[in-house]
Chains A and B, each alone.
Chain A
Amino acid sequence: MARALRWDVIIGLLLVAVFAGGALGSPSFATADNLSFALGDLGEIALIALAMTMLVVAAEVDLSVASVLGLSSALVGALWDAGLAIETIIPLVVLIGAVCGLVNGLLVTRLGLPSLAVTIGTLALYRGLAYVVLGDRAVAGFPPGYVSAAVDDVPGTFVPYPVALFVLLAVVVAVVLHATGFGRALFAIGAQEQAAFFAGIRVKRIKLALFVISGTVAAFAGVVFTLRYGSARADNGLGVELAVIAAVLLGGVDFDGGKGTLGGVIAGVLLIGLLRNLLMLNDVSTEIQSIVTGLLLIVSVLTPRLISLLKPVRTGTSALKGIP
């Protein structure tokens, strides 16, 4: 009974329902082409959500991810324009993303600032830097080999390469989160940081690592995004952080930390992706899509609380019934 009511299971079922509904309602939905497109469109969000899950489980958050993505895209454009080889550009840009994450992490762990405030600050800062780097220009003309690696499907499937990479990384993160000491430490930190610290867990070092991972992944997602659209722009990925956080919370990760499963998050990511795709297929405007994302975010935070509010009432009534 209690197990059936688990949030990540509910989201999984909802995902199946949406998929079935979409397949019935729209003939172009359940086609390989469309699913490939939907998944590809989801790639960056999914990748960033992996890192975000670990952060939120540890009761931190990184709102600057979309700006790091944008900065990364702008850097790819500027450096390509300057004549650097793409083989040099990609590692360089990913490294810069790691530095962006490091800055976030140092501000949070060394100065003890709340990550929500710090990363709102760097959200503006990194996006600003992106405009400094590339201005309003758009850079295109990347090597076709790299572009197709970002767009094409793994042969014989409807899974684009970036999504295949996501699947690989998701397995790694699932193991790390749910079966390693590092994962145990993350849950302990998120649930009761002080007790984790008193148990000898290196809380600051771990948090710093999480922010660096987050920045690195966001920058890599920026590279993928740029190649996929074949266009480097400073405003790439605007607002992606909201979709990522909506997916993570929808997946049942508690924003207060200490609770959540990666399976839930994957279901959350897919659910958001499918909904967006369905709305697009039905020619719903981007404004409405944004409204739906926002509502999903609120519902995903609200529903578990409502459930937990209802629970004591239930035991209360059953206790009363037990009295002769």
Chain B
Amino acid sequence: MSGPPTLALVNVSKSFGAVRALREVSLELFAGEAHALAGENGAGKSTLVKILAGVHRPDSGQMLLDGEPVVFHGPVDAQRAGVAVIYQEPTLFPDLSVAENIFMGRQPRTTLGRIDRRARRALAAELFTRLGVTLDPEQPARGLSIADQQLVEIAKAISTDARVLVMDEPTAALSGNEAARLFSVVETLREQGCAVLFISHRLDEIFSLCGRVTTLRDGGLVAVEPVAGLTHDELIRRMVGRELGALYPKQETTAGQVALRVERLTREGVFTDVSFEVRRGEIVALAGLVGAGRSEVARAIFGVDRWDAGTVQVDGRPLPAASPSAAMAAGLALVPEDRRQQGLVMALSIERNIGLTGLRSLRRGLTISRAAERDRARDWALRLRLKFAALSDGVGVLSGGNQQKVVLAKWLATRPSVLVVDEPTRGIDVGTKAEVHRLLSELAGQGIAVLMISSDLPEVLGMADRVLVMHEGRLTAEIPRAEATEESVMTAATGRAA
């Protein structure tokens, strides 16, 4: 690391109203370095990323590019300076081809001024070769997996000669294999002299990918240190500022009666002949790669999507197809994958969101009792240790972890006998994650049957009594807790073994 850092922040502060999002934070990114940014939700990571991306301007402090002071007046300045940001949700134009997306706004031209498709195709192919991935430049972006879309974003970034690549939770929606491929691309770029700033809630990734880690807590800088020699526990302690206890507190429970029975459930072209059962007191994980059909099975069970064949029974009673209200009445609850679109009505308050699943039970006479609505919300908010100012606040002001607690509250308030959770801890901080795990474990202890879909392998292995694995729409394995390992689950998930 000779010479000045490619990009550096020196004592940068930023406030939003009364909230001090960043307090005198410094960061140095050197060429050829993979640098992790760690911290809980609300620690200031997003603000820092937005400053690097030119979206926000710091209130005080300096930004240095190659040792020279620089001010980004907007995202365009950041791009010109060679800073590219890859967000968790890629923002491609779905109807345009991969190559068109990469060269959006600066398409290669022929001498006549028309778009040179052949050159564009060749340039895109060259970029993919440089990244070591195989993607068809002429394929439309619609239909690409999130992992592939991110690769397109990266190709777009390096086509503008980005020297600093900021990746904001790029792996949150990826399965193990896809993440591994992304990492090899990042590794390649790093070797080619890029400075990479990597943000992830998955600590394993930080440890395997990054050389140094900067930890933020409550907007302040806690530590900058090499990853080598650091342990998971030490890093978590820096992030949360306290001991967490066991990350996966699964209690031993005795499984009771079958609460959810799924038999030969089929939705043509999506999943086939899926049969399993979940007993009261059990946590059963549904593992597999993204696109294996796990969420789709959950959606069908809950009645959001229809199914073509098979049966679903809750406590021995068959459910009609495609009726969430019937599923709810039977005692089923679904904490969906997409918190912002499916889990919550972002424009409504905490209490209205929690009340939404109980419009019938909150009725006194013909109208909704506001007192009952508020009691229900307060009761569950306290039980789940929700951090909030007022129950009438919009859920939009809450952090991701607290939003997830509202979703859980809204469903637990229906007193379900079967709780289906789809990626319950995606994109939420370590502290809240541990709380969600403890909660799921308690719920199982109280006799609720829990079906948990998760792409987070340590979570699957730590929490589940049994692991069901799906591969390409079929259930390929059922692994008891004692035999579940990363290898056995991944082997089944990739379809390599029977």
Contacts and interface: CB of A to CB of B under 8 A. Distances in A.
Nearest to A187: B348
Interface stretch (B46-54, B184-192, B201-209, B363-371): B363-371
Interface in A25-53: none
Contacts of B355: 184
A259 B347 contact: yes
A179 interface: yes
Contact of B325 (A187, A195, A200, A318): A200
B346 interface: yes
B342 A195 contact: yes
B244 interface: no
Given A194-B341, A197-B304, A258-B347, A181 B363 contact: yes
A194 B367 CA distance: 24
B357 interface: yes
Most chain B CB neighbours (cut-off 10 Å) among A191, A192, A195: A195
A323 B60 contact: yes
B16 A180 contact: no
B282 to A, nearest CB: 24
| Interface size of A as a range | 20 to 34
B412 interface: no
Majority SS at the chain B contact face: mixed
Contact of B368 (A184, A188, A194, A320): A184
Nearest to A324: B60
A200 B345 contact: no
A196 B356 contact: yes
B17 A184 contact: no
A175 interface: yes
A306 interface: no
B347 A184 contact: no
A124 to B, nearest CB: 31
Interface SS majority for chain A: helix
A252 B363 CA distance: 28
A179 B356 CA distance: 13
Interface residues of B, number: 34
B265 to A, nearest CB: 19
Contacts of B16: 315, 319
Interface in B9-59: 15-18, 59
Interface in A283-318: 315, 318
B82 interface: no
B348 A188 contact: yes
Interface string B260-302: 0000000000000000000000000000000000000000001
A55 to B, nearest CB: 18
A6 interface: no
Contacts of B357: 199-200
A14 to B, nearest CB: 25
B453 interface: no
A183 B328 CA distance: 20
Nearest to B355: A184
Interface in A81-96: none
Given A198-B304, A200-B328, A181 B345 contact: no
A320 B327 CA distance: 51
A202 B304 CA distance: 11
A97 to B, nearest CB: 26
A201 B345 CA distance: 12
A185 interface: yes
Given A198-B324, A323-B60, A179 B304 contact: no
Given A198-B324, A322-B15, A184 B352 contact: yes
A172 to B, nearest CB: 10
Interface of A: 175, 179-181, 183-185, 187-188, 191-192, 194-202, 258-259, 315, 318-320, 322-323
Given A187-B352, A199-B324, 18 more contacts: A175-B367, A181-B360, A187-B348, A188-B345, A188-B352, A188-B356, A195-B341, A195-B342, A195-B345, A196-B356, A197-B324, A198-B324, A198-B336, A200-B324, A201-B325, A201-B356, A258-B347, A259-B347
18 contacts: A184-B356, A187-B348, A191-B346, A192-B341, A192-B344, A192-B345, A194-B341, A194-B342, A195-B342, A195-B344, A195-B345, A199-B356, A200-B328, A200-B357, A201-B325, A315-B17, A319-B15, A319-B17
Interface of B: 15-18, 59-60, 302, 304, 324-325, 327-328, 334, 336, 341-348, 352, 355-357, 359-360, 362-363, 366-368, 410
10 pairs of A and B residues whose beta carbons are closest in the complex: A181-B359, A191-B347, A179-B367, A192-B345, A200-B328, A200-B325, A199-B356, A200-B324, A198-B342, A195-B345
